[in-house]
Structure 1
Amino acid sequence: METHATADQLVLDTIHTGLTVSSLDDAIAFWCDVIGCRLDVRKKLASGPALDSIVGVPGTELEIAVVVAPGGHKIELLQYDKPDDRTIYRPRSCDVGSAHLTFSVTDIDKLLDRVESAGWKRLGAPQTYPNGMRVAYARGPEGHTIEMMQLPR
């Protein structure tokens, strides 16, 4: 990990982006087969007070998978098996707490077709900026949002 920290800088780098999912199998299939990530690791985390304290949820049971996106960014997929009172959060892009991942893509239309075939929904038509960049959002069935940017050639 390369650092460019000054004496007062505390954050050194981005490690990964975490997404909570209901099914690791389904999430791995989407992120690897549709987006083109590769599976790096999958494991069940040890439950107990330390994990409960880290995530701020008593009684946590958790399995994770880490996929690596083209370009090297890591996405941690988290499947909570406990507690039983979990819910699915489906924010709109304007809702505070909403987040998205942005990918540089070669063909936005083909990727939109692929993500729609996987059960995701485009949030509107791709838009073209004056510089030629095309941009679109898609949202998955569990509320995760991705942005696709096709840079001008």
Structure 2
Amino acid sequence: MLQGFEHIGMTSGDLDRTIWFYCDLLGLRLHLRKPASSGEVAFLDAGGGMLEIFAPAEPVTRAQDVPPQTAGMRHMTFAFSDIDPVVQRLEEEGLEIIERPRLAHNQDVFKRVAFCRDPDGIIVELAERAASRP
């Protein structure tokens, strides 16, 4: 029996910056950080699942976008009660905003959305849930 979504695994070029972005700016909570074979690992709790972030000891290249015709994870989404102050804070911190807040295409699921990039170039969607969703 399924118990729920557990985590997404990702790679970071700078674990401190990644934790700063997801915890300090987006509000996730650091659950665990420890040395791992050939690097360091952290688990960040998003309230309904976690991000497992591996930071290898050697340099990593910036993330590349997955083209629409290619299978893969295109972005990850976090829900907020109001995305405007989040986008404003990200802009103040110099992070790349791909799309400013706008009405969502899937109004049955989300009311408004915005898109940005994390410090490693991964696309992150910020969303306000539709009124019909808890």
| TM-based fold match above 0.5 | yes
Task: Tell me the residue number matched to 1:87.
Answer: 61
Task: Tell me the residue number matched to 2:93.
Answer: 118
CA contact (8 A) 1:39 1:66 kept: yes
- What is the distance in 2 between the residues matched to 1:117 and 1:93? 29
Spell out the pairing of 1:19-34 with structure 2 (5 A cutoff).
19-34=10-25
Residue aligned with 1:124, SS: strand
- What is the distance in 1 between the residues matched to 2:103 and 2:55? 36
Structure 2: runs of 5+ lacking an equivalent: none
Structure 1: runs of 5+ lacking an equivalent: 5-11, 47-60
Identity across matched positions, percent: 31
Of 11, 31, 45, which residue of structure 2 is paired with 1:40? 31
Bigger Rg over Cα: 1
Task: Tell me the residue number matched to 1:63.
Answer: 40
How much is the aligned-residue C-alpha RMSD, in angstroms? 2.5
User: CA shift at 1:116, angstroms?
Assistant: 2.3
Cα–Cα, structure 1 residues 138 and 34, in superposed 2: closer, same or farther, change >3 Å? Answer: same
Cα–Cα, structure 1 residues 141 and 42, in superposed 2: closer, same or farther, change >3 Å? Answer: closer
Of 71, 75, 96, which residue of structure 1 is paired with 2:51? 75
CA contact (8 A) 1:34 1:118 kept: no
Cα–Cα, structure 1 residues 79 and 136, in superposed 2: closer, same or farther, change >3 Å? Answer: same
CA contact (8 A) 1:45 1:62 kept: yes
4+ runs deviating over 4 angstroms: 129-132
How does the TM-score come out when normalised to structure 2?
0.78
Spell out the pairing of 1:136-151 with structure 2 (5 A cutoff).
136-151=114-129
Moved more, 37-46 or 129-138: 129-138
Residue deviations 1:54-109, cap 9 Å, x none? Answer: xxxxxxx121011111x232111111113x6x422232664734532111111111
How does the TM-score come out when normalised to structure 1?
0.70
Cα–Cα, structure 1 residues 95 and 126, in superposed 2: closer, same or farther, change >3 Å? Answer: farther
- What is the distance in 2 between the residues matched to 1:76 and 1:42? 10
Task: Tell me the residue number matched to 1:56.
Answer: none
